[in-house]
Amino acid sequence: MARSIIVFSLASIVALGSAIFTITSSPRLLKRSTLTIVASGIALIIFASTRHIQLLSHRSRKRSTRRPNPNSQNDRIQRPPMDYNLFVLGSGGHTKEMLMMMDDGFCDFSHFHRRYLISSGDSMSENHLHDYEESLASLCKSRETSPGTYDKRIVTRARRVHQPLWSTPWTALLSIVDIFPALLVPPENEVGRKLRYPSRVFSNGPATGFFVALAVHLLKMTYIVPESCMKVIYIESWARISTLSLTGKLLLYTGIADVFVTQHQEVAARYGVQNAGEIVFNSRRLDDIEPSPAKC
C-alpha cells in the first residue's frame, strides 16, 4: 500500500508539473491544462488526507496498546547504548522547564547526542543552555563519566510575543523552512554516522514546537522519515494548571504528537489526556512513557 501511494503521489506531481509547462508553452491548451492541474490537485489532496489519517491511526493504535505504569520498575524502558534526541527550547520559562526536566540525575551520556532548537533572537535560551551544559560537563567530570555531545540550531521565530495573527503564517513558513535541515542533517560525530535522525523530539509549549511537530509529520507523510523515528513527545508546561496552551491545543486536535501528557490532573481530565505528574520537579525523563526506537 505504501508503495502504491508513493507512485500515485509522484504521478500526480509529474502531471501537475507537465500541466504548468504546457500553459507556459502553449496558451491554446489552457483549458485542458487547467483540468489537469485541478485533477492533480485533487489527487494530491486525496493522498495527503489518506496518509494523514493513516499516521493518526497508527499513533492511536500504539497509545491504546501501551499504557505502562510509571511506578512499576518492570515497565521502565532501559536507555539504549546510543541515542540522539532533539529538544525544542522556548524563551524564558519554557526553556528553564525543559532543562529542569532533562536534569534527571543521570550523568553518563557516552554515545548520546543532544540537539537544541532555538528561535532567532532568543538569547535568554542560549544563556540557559550554556549554563546547563557547563553544569552537566562539570558533574560528569567529577564522576569521571562522559557528558556526551550536543549542538544547537537557530531557526526563524514562528511567532513573536504580541505578533499580529495575520502576519504569523509568513514567519511560520520561514520557521518551517529552517526546521527541516535541523531535523534532517545528522550531527557531525559518531552518533550522527550511526543515527541519521533524532529518535525523539521533545517540546513543552513554545509556538515553534507545533511547527517542529508539523514538519516531522510532513516528513513522515511523504515517507522521507520512517514512522519509528522522530517520535514527538509533548509535555504541557507546568504553568498550565487549568487549560492547555495554544500549542497544546493545536497538537491535541491535530493529533500529530506521538505522546501528549500534562503535568496537572485537572488539565488531563478536562481534555482526556494522560497526566504524567509534575515532571519539572520530579526531574525524570519520559523513558517510562515512550521508548526510544531501535535505530533511526
Judged against a pLDDT cut of 60, whether residue 6 lies above it is answered with no
Nearest residue to 206 via CA among 174, 237, 175: 237
Residues 140 and 266 in one domain: yes
pLDDT at position 81: 87
Give pLDDT tens digits for 53-111: 999 988 887 766 655 554 544 555 577 889 999 999 987 789 999 998 888 777 889 99
- 293: in domain: no
Last residue of a domain, one of 65, 94, 113: 65
- 294: in domain: no
Are 119 and 91 spatial neighbours (Cβ–Cβ below 8 Å)? yes
Question: 59 lies in which domain range?
Answer: 2-65
Give the span between the Cα atoms of 196 and 219, in whole angstroms. Answer: 14
Residues 86 and 49 in one domain: no
Residues 274 and 151 in one domain: yes
Residues 61 and 94 in one domain: no
Could you please report the per-residue DSSP string of 217-280? Answer: HHHHHTTSS-TTSSEEEEE--TT-SSS--HHHHHHHHHT--SEEEESSHHHHHHHT-EE---HH
Give the span between the Cα atoms of 95 and 126, in whole angstroms. Answer: 9
Residues 192 and 245 in one domain: yes
- 87: in domain: yes
pLDDT at position 126: 93
- 26: in domain: yes
Task: Quickly list H helices, the chain.
Answer: 2-25, 30-65, 93-102, 123-142, 168-184, 190-194, 207-221, 246-254, 265-271, 279-282
- 296: in domain: no
Domain count, the chain: 2
pLDDT at position 207: 87
**Least confident range of 36-40, 108-112, 264-268:** 36-40
Mean pLDDT value of segment 15-33: 57
Q: pTM of the full predicted structure?
A: 0.81
Locate 145 and state its grid cell.
563519566
Last residue of a domain, one of 37, 65, 93: 65
For cell 515497565, the residue is 75
Neighbours of 151 (CB within 10 A): 13
Neighbours of 34 (CB within 10 A): 13
Locate 13 and state its grid cell.
506531481
Contacts of 33 (CB under 8 A, 6+ apart): 19, 20, 22, 23
Residues 200 and 240 in one domain: yes
Residues 22 and 123 in one domain: no
Give pLDDT tens digits for 124-149: 999 999 999 998 898 889 889 999 99
**Least confident range of 31-45, 249-263, 266-280, 281-295:** 281-295
- 89: in domain: yes
Residues 39 and 12 in one domain: yes
Contacts of 115 (CB under 8 A, 6+ apart): 84, 85, 86, 87, 150, 151, 152, 153, 182, 187, 198
Residues 172 and 104 in one domain: yes
- 202: in domain: yes
CATH number at residue 280: 3.40.50
- 258: in domain: yes
Last residue of a domain, one of 18, 42, 65: 65
Per the model's pLDDT, the better-predicted residue between 161 and 14 turns out to be: 161
pLDDT at position 4: 45
Per the model's pLDDT, the better-predicted residue between 283 and 271 turns out to be: 271
Locate 81 and state its grid cell.
547504548
Mean pLDDT value of segment 109-132: 93
Residues 44 and 88 in one domain: no
Residues 100 and 243 in one domain: yes
Residues 217 and 89 in one domain: yes
DSSP-assigned beta bridge partners for residue 214: none
